[in-house]
Structure 1
């Protein structure tokens, strides 16, 4: 998504040219290029798919809508397995129209996970609940903190359900570091994602994720948290940014790789 302006073949070629061996994929561009074609493309290039994004949106009350959401998530699990990734990221969903019941919405997520977790396990896929910043609670994700995500995940085996740690959504929460330790102790950190928080916020906020190093988040500090928790998996950079999307995608990808080394590794 960081370079969504690139076609799937161009993305894969750019990763190979820049010696980037892992890539996180989103369902929409995979579907546009073709699931089987994408799987073959990344496999032939020697790329590892770190995660597939996204499943979720599990808070519907209407029985037909709920059945549709569960069916779509089963398809997402199938797609993840075909692509060779063991992790499907979940954005849980917001409040249904007319509802103000946050607690009820979160319980419906748990009910859905009880159905989806065993299905995912049979396909070799883990579900990674992603808490989103509280500004998204009404319309996108009623799970706002790592504490809430872990309270849901811990109802299920760790090899079925864990969490996504995303700096953009969690950096403000002083309870996030101890919750990362909690997640790591239980083997529930399924993926670690980076994006910076830049101001002023754009209208709509969704596209406000800044390039690494341009904002308020200490990326090395957050890398230290997950490493101290025992996480040794891949680190994704996921940027929603209209300014970056308007530029040449290969240039953006190369810049992102340089920023990752400078602000995260070096």
Structure 2
């Protein structure tokens, strides 16, 4: 497994692989890998001749007073997981090279970036779209894999790739959960033991909504109230948003149907957690 820091070196290796007719699979991450990332890497191993993992804590997708400085990092552990998953190249660029002096270009996916996380984190998805575009141009993947836990991020990237005619297939992969249902996230490391228990209210609310939908409930207002009551009963939980949206356009949904997205962001203590489910599809 090669560890590469230089953009030029990564591009040279990608171009050489392309000339040899190799298919490149790519998993972009901010590191501090967990089983969710590992599932993407294992799938990527089946999708390409060359498997590339990027580890880059992207500063331009963090707003003021967000957790850029304390975002968890463990490169040694990340590389061990990468080797176990069969990664060929770990690309770990420096922020100073990704965004050199005078950098002033950004990518904006307007409508899809506005609601949900975009409303509470202005500019976040511009930072995501910009760094992913740069990474695609550097790594030159044929296929890139993303987890569906970050549902809006996946929607933004999929739209961006289509709009800009980028030659990469974007694949969304299922949410990986702990045995008790908590969606795996690098930010789970912030949670104390009591907070970790409190965080399960997200999963309980999702299960309740899915159960009521399966029983025939189609009013998103009533589904919203059912989920809201579960989360509000948890003293440590502060809701950022809890919404029902069209699974494609992210427009508000007033009548639930197969494909309707339930998306939520909840703060447990100082930690902001997101989760989602698509009604009518497997959890």
TM, length-normalised to structure 1 = 0.30
TM norm structure 2: 0.28
Higher Rg of the two aligned structures: 2
